[in-house]
Structure 1
Amino acid sequence: MKRGLAFFLAVTMIISLLAGCSGEQSAEAEKTKDGKVVIDFWTFWGSETRRPIIEKIVNDYNQSQDKVFVKHTFLPWGDIWTKNLASVAAGNPADVIVNDINTVAQRAENKQVEDISEYVDDSFKQQFYPYLWDTVEQDGKTYAVPFNTDTRLLFYNKKAFKEVGLDPNKPPATWSELEEYARKLDVKNGDKYDRIGFYPLWGSVGASSWMINADGGKGFIADGELAINTPKKVEALNWILDWKEGLGERTVQAFQAEFGSEQSNPFIAGKVSMWIDVGTFYTQLRDYGQDVEFGVAPIPAKEKGAGNWAEGGGFVVEVPKGSKHPKEAMDFIRYLTDVKAQKYWAVKNYDNVANSEAAESALNELKGPDKMVYEATVKNLKQTKMFPVPIDYPDYMSRLNPHIDNALLGKTAPEKALKQAEEDIKKMKK
């Protein structure tokens, strides 16, 4: 009996010690004692960089008031949304979740997210970039709050520019200038390229981005109408094919085979002189390309005055359908998307945030190249377009992409491919 009692006491002591070391367990004990409402906050931010940042914001919120305790739950990318849908269906969801910004309307239509309209007013909405706020409203109701976003810039190698007689402070402004500069920057050794000036499908950009850029920033569905088989989008696909033909399929494939990240990134390695990527690509340059003398600029316009249109993405925070504590969840969301937390996230993560005042104030915390690139991204948001997935065409990209691929592979002429895509997508309208 004594041995059994001693064992029980030892185990109890170990559990107590572990509980004392656990922020979550001690906080939940405090909740039981003080009556705090515990809300579960799901994110996919588990990296060594992002997890400490989001957890500091969560801890700051928990210490800022005595009514709510937020528990941060990390779930891997991909798994988080599968588990969210399952938990909503089971009636036991998280209280706040980070989700994709362009599919809010789909979740609202499928009753997978709470209507939070009663918790927001005009003064709250005005904190955010208007084009981002547009993504979270459906039929006049609000279903999420924008958290962060991105935009794409042209990174160019100033040293390479100087080598070939180009002005390092004058990046290409139009597609024709982009082609002209690229030809000058190409370095060939016989039939082999040692350096390529530019290729439009490398970096964080694809054929659809160039088609939208060419068409005045118009997406594939504009004002509820299909805008796929347009003259400008056909022209853009032909333009990409001209690049591919000019370099040759073998050259393109050979270069791509050597692509990697960090020092192996082709722009950092000096293998490609102009490269389009999201603003956060700068962190790779900063950490692994210290010797690269670079500049940034908007994506060139199709022609002068046509607009330097870029595609954007991002994430929102929302309350899954069936949350037991929507009011408390919204209190946390307000904190998470206010200036203080958004500015902290922007500076520490070098990320574009949705709160416009926070984005501007983050510039005051940055210096040198950090400030130069971040300022360029903030300015570029004015020429960045979001393309929320419309309810009438929920899966249109999966039908469109194969047709674009066929055009790029030379299997179908661009005009025919886009005509077929438009006819195919018309059939799916709800």
Structure 2
Amino acid sequence: MTAALILTACGGASTSGSEDVDELTMWARSSTQDYTQALVDAYNETHDTQIALTIVASDSFQQKVGAAAGAGSLPDILASDVVYAPNYAKQSVYMDITDRIASLPFADDLVSAHVEASTFDGKTYAVPHKVDSSFIFYNKDLFAAAGLDPESPPTTYDEIYEAAKAVTALGGDTYGFYFPGNCAGCNAYTSFGVARAAEELPISTDGKTADIDSDALTEWFGLYQRLFADGLVPSGATTGDTTTQQEPFLQGKVAMWPNGSYSIPTVNETVDFEWGYMPLATADGSATGTFVGGDVIGISSTTKNADAAWDFIEWTLEDEAQVDIVAKDGNLPVRVDLSDNEYTAADPRLTEITEGMENGYTPSTLPYGEAINSPNGPWLTAMRGVVFNDDPDALAQGQKAVQTLLDGAN
């Protein structure tokens, strides 16, 4: 959390909304732009109150929210990365909506990880906006061209390496593997799924203890280091970030790309090849796991239009929006009672992803942004130290720095 947000209280908001509101302001991360815009457009077409959506770059989202909270200029509605929810709840960025949630007939069917992350001192401040799950995309066409079985993707790290080697041998600008090496959040999103598979959680369930110097993460980033050092990953991985990470896979230039379900709509709309699903797993492939990520949405604590804001939020959770907009576009519903809808059930890959969420993990700790997601934080420094500098002490040093931040916030 930024200093402005920590030092400045955000109270004094009205808890009752205006009956006639022409426009509500809303902020959302760039990572959810298409998803959020689709919901906003559909709502605006059928309601007098209009949502004015502002998309904020994901890498600068925390800073912008912190500055707005300090200045008392938050939007009416805020959709945020779920990992920031604990801090935004504690710091009163969001308004308490416990009673509003309880009134929903499907309240118990909302994805629990997101609700729990948004709960502080027994009160809940946000609901799920977008739910996604990390895994590895793979290009079946490139697998076939390299003589690999496109229906039997690798399950162990040795098999991933050999598959990447075979695809890279096709020549040209084709590579076997890709990861955005300068994106802190991206690499937590994928590698934390690996750690969950090994039952070595990087952040403890109470948010107080870090474990990034684990065997699981050492093996995972050791694979990255080997792939990169041996030329099986494009050199551009060193500068790849959240704004560019999709390009190599979308262009059909890489065979395997750890990412997640939030990219499925873009992949489906863009590529002319068949893609497959590979779960994130331990080095020997014996266990799988995933980071259950996404965003939550809530009413800002400074709004004077709480009722109108809630009307939009509630509408996004109802059957029509969740099935005919969210699921139809290839996204996962935020309600478990709708997981067997016609669109999700029609794609076996989505079924696999949904089933894989049984081994899911959503980290929750107050300084998550500073410790993990920050481009200048200890997590990214540690990851890059291992992968690009082959530094055997990088994770241990990162562990100390992350733990110091957790100790200071808890």
Aligned mates of 2:204, 2:120 — CA distance in 1:
16
Aligned mates of 1:259, 1:86 — CA distance in 2:
24
Aligned mates of 2:26, 2:79 — CA distance in 1:
7
TM-score (norm 1): 0.73
Q: Secondary structure at the match of 2:49?
A: strand
Q: Secondary structure at the match of 1:226?
A: coil
Query: Offset of 1:340 from its aligned partner?
Result: 1.9
Are the structure 2 counterparts of residues 347 and 402 from structure 1 closer, same or farther at C-alpha, using a change threshold of 3 Å?
A: same
Aligned to 1:321: 301
Aligned to 1:4: none
Are the structure 2 counterparts of residues 157 and 403 from structure 1 closer, same or farther at C-alpha, using a change threshold of 3 Å?
A: closer
Aligned mates of 1:152, 1:207 — CA distance in 2:
10
Aligned mates of 2:90, 2:360 — CA distance in 1:
26
Q: Secondary structure at the match of 1:360?
A: coil
Q: Is the 8 A contact 2:195 2:201 kept in 1?
A: no
Aligned to 1:103: 84
Are the structure 2 counterparts of residues 142 and 357 from structure 1 closer, same or farther at C-alpha, using a change threshold of 3 Å?
A: same
Query: Offset of 1:337 from its aligned partner?
Result: 1.4
Aligned to 2:403: 426
Tell me whether 1:76 sits opposite 2:55 in the alignment: yes
Q: Is the 8 A contact 1:201 1:207 kept in 2?
A: no
Matching residue within 333, 341, 352 for 1:353: 333
Tell me whether 1:386 sits opposite 2:368 in the alignment: no
Query: Offset of 1:142 from its aligned partner?
Result: 0.3
Aligned mates of 2:383, 2:242 — CA distance in 1:
25
Aligned to 1:8: none
- Give the partner amino acid of 1:422: Q
Mean Cα deviation higher: 71-80 or 221-230: 71-80
Mean Cα deviation higher: 153-162 or 44-53: 44-53
Aligned mates of 2:403, 2:264 — CA distance in 1:
40
Aligned to 2:10: none
Tell me whether 1:150 sits opposite 2:126 in the alignment: no
Query: Offset of 1:285 from its aligned partner?
Result: 4.0
User: What's the CA shift string for 1:356-413, capped at 9, x where partnerless?
Assistant: 233432526x85xxx344434333333342223x126662121222232223232632
Are the structure 2 counterparts of residues 380 and 54 from structure 1 closer, same or farther at C-alpha, using a change threshold of 3 Å?
A: farther
Aligned to 1:410: 389
- Give the partner amino acid of 2:394: A
Are the structure 2 counterparts of residues 165 and 354 from structure 1 closer, same or farther at C-alpha, using a change threshold of 3 Å?
A: same
Aligned mates of 2:236, 2:368 — CA distance in 1:
37
Where does the alignment leave 5 or more consecutive residues of structure 2 unmatched? 1-16
Matching residue within 8, 26, 35 for 1:42: 26
Tell me whether 1:228 sits opposite 2:230 in the alignment: no
- Give the partner amino acid of 1:222: S
Matching residue within 107, 116, 119 for 1:134: 116
- Give the partner amino acid of 1:198: F
Aligned mates of 2:325, 2:398 — CA distance in 1:
40
Query: Offset of 1:177 from its aligned partner?
Result: 2.4
Are the structure 2 counterparts of residues 141 and 274 from structure 1 closer, same or farther at C-alpha, using a change threshold of 3 Å?
A: same
What fraction of aligned residue pairs are identical, expressed as a percent? Answer: 19
Query: Offset of 1:213 from its aligned partner?
Result: 0.3
Matching residue within 118, 126, 151 for 1:169: 151
Are the structure 2 counterparts of residues 359 and 112 from structure 1 closer, same or farther at C-alpha, using a change threshold of 3 Å?
A: same
Query: What pairs with 1:257-406 in structure 2 (closer than 5 Å)?
Result: 265-290=247-272, 292-307=273-288, 309-347=289-327, 349-363=329-343, 371-388=347-364, 390-391=365-366, 395-397=370-372, 398-406=377-385
User: What's the CA shift string for 1:98-129, capped at 9, x where partnerless?
Assistant: 22221111112222221122223396431212
Q: With CA pairs under 8 Å and 6+ residues apart, which has the higher RCO, 1 or 2?
A: 2
Q: Secondary structure at the match of 2:230?
A: helix
TM-score (norm 2): 0.76
**Of the two, which has the highest radius of gyration?**
1
User: What's the CA shift string for 1:219-242, capped at 9, x where partnerless?
Assistant: 422132221222332233323222
Are the structure 2 counterparts of residues 288 and 109 from structure 1 closer, same or farther at C-alpha, using a change threshold of 3 Å?
A: closer
Aligned to 1:196: 175
Residue-pair matches, total:
376
Q: Is the 8 A contact 1:125 1:133 kept in 2?
A: no
Are the structure 2 counterparts of residues 241 and 346 from structure 1 closer, same or farther at C-alpha, using a change threshold of 3 Å?
A: same
Are the structure 2 counterparts of residues 162 and 74 from structure 1 closer, same or farther at C-alpha, using a change threshold of 3 Å?
A: closer
Q: Secondary structure at the match of 1:153?
A: strand
Are the structure 2 counterparts of residues 157 and 131 from structure 1 closer, same or farther at C-alpha, using a change threshold of 3 Å?
A: same
Q: Is the 8 A contact 1:297 1:376 kept in 2?
A: no
